[in-house]
Amino acid sequence: MCIRDSPVTELITGVDLVEQMIRVAYGETLPFAQDDLKINGWAMESRLYAEDPYRGFLPSIGRLSRYRPPAEEATSTRAVRNDTGVFEGGEISMYYDPMIAKLCTWAPNRAAAIEEMRQALDAFEVEGIGHNLPFLAAVYDHEKFISGTMTTAFIEEEFPDGFQGVTLPDADLIRIAAAASAMHRVAEIRRTRISGRMDNHERHVGADWNVAVQGQSFDTVIVADKLGADVILAGQTIRVEGDWTPGDMLARMTVGGTPLVIKIGKISGGFRVRYRGADLKVHVRTPRQAELAALMPEKMPPDTSKLLLCPMPGLIVKVDVAVGDEVQDGQALCTVEAMKMENILRAEKKGIVSKVNAAAGDSLAVDDIILEFE
């Protein structure tokens, strides 16, 4: 048994494998035989990597501006364990293995162990680098994993064009819309207090809102009280309670009687919400603002078709072309080294090199321009 693979075995057997390895190395004999070991329950392990699933799982480096794993605990019915060697404020370097944590859960049966992992991933906060938490969350909600019929070809079969995040079902969107509208109301009340209007501040915050998320629009009405709010939307009334305050990056809510844990970021006119593999822009507007927003043209991304961008932070090992060279589809253009791996970047189509912006030995960041084409 390899030490790095021991947590799951330890959780289902109750045997500290590393301790036994050290004792055997010291000359002691094992205090048990194979027949003495019994398997108890189910355990799951998720490996948190500094690899960006939105970029083909390429390595990501940088400072961990936020690193807050879920609380570790162990009872007779559940357990959460996180083996790690990093800390908030630490640097993820290009020179080492990208694995930064092994998150494990245990429960009496497989379905319960999966649910424990879902909740643990919901509460795991990592900022400052690209990481695979969204992909892990998506896997635990995928029907193939739940049924146990997945194979090693899972990624190729289910994400043939690469991982682009998850499209949440309507039921989840409605819960998120209800939570976002209630949270926005709290933020608006805070805003009126900061402005100095201390008297009857809540009368300045309306009850009617519109929430736009994942291409859908929900009109909401909020009826608030001291314990939370009843949010009326999509023909139903949803109770929202929680202690979220503006600035919190993790919201632990109860929505419709069930827990909802979402990661929160501030964007203009709403929130960035991350939940179960989805990365959403949630805009909360007044009805009039929503009416005007619907008339705004969509901002298109810049054209990068004539550029070779560095897909990861790394070191340029060599550049295989020069200005004026004609390149063919699939031809090697340069090699980038990151996290003990050399990555060969190849041409996606035929073209002529017009400018070379990097040379061997240069350290580049994500999206730095390496080559330009006519």
DSSP code string of 274-310: EETTEEEEEEEE-HHHHHHHTTSPPPPPP--TTEEE-
The reply to whether 337 falls in a domain is: yes
Nearest of 206, 184, 202 to residue 193 by alpha carbon: 202
Q: How far, rounded to the nearest angstrom, does the alpha carbon of residue 345 sit from its chain's CA centroid?
A: 26
Collapsed DSSP state (helix, strand, coil) of residue 250: strand
Ranges of residues in the chain with a pLDDT under 70 are: 1-5, 193-204
* CATH number assigned to the domain comprising residue 126: 3.30.470.20
For residue 5, the model assigns a pLDDT of 60
DSSP-assigned states of every residue in 189-221:
HHHHHHTT--TTGGGGS-SEEEEEETTEEEEEE
Max CA pair span of the chain: 77
Has residue 19 been placed in a domain? no
At 307-351, the pLDDT tens digits run 999 988 888 999 999 999 999 999 999 999 887 788 899 998 899
Question: Do 284 and 252 share a domain, yes or no?
Answer: yes
> Which residues constitute the domain of residue 136?
41-158
Helix (H) or strand (E) holding 183: helix 170-194
Q: What is the CATH number of the domain that holds 249?
A: 3.30.700.30
pLDDT digits (tens, 9 = 90+) for 134-157: 999 999 999 999 999 999 999 999
pTM for the whole structure = 0.81
Q: How many CB atoms lie within 10 A of CB 141?
A: 18
Classify residue 35: in a domain, yes or no: no
* DSSP at 225: -
- How many separate domains does the chain show? 3
Does residue 87 form part of some domain? yes
At 198 the pLDDT is 52
CATH value at residue 351: 2.40.50.100
Reduce the DSSP state of residue 150 to 3 states and report it. Answer: coil
Q: Which residue, among 355, 269, 340, has the nearest Cα to 99 in the 3D structure?
A: 340
Q: Are 260 and 179 in contact (CB under 8 A)?
A: yes
Tell me, yes or no, whether 70 lies in a domain: yes
Last residue of a domain, one of 158, 188, 219: 158
Both 96 and 193 in a single domain?
A: no
Strand order from edge to edge, sheet including 99-107? 42-49, 99-107, 79-84, 73-74
pLDDT at 4: 55
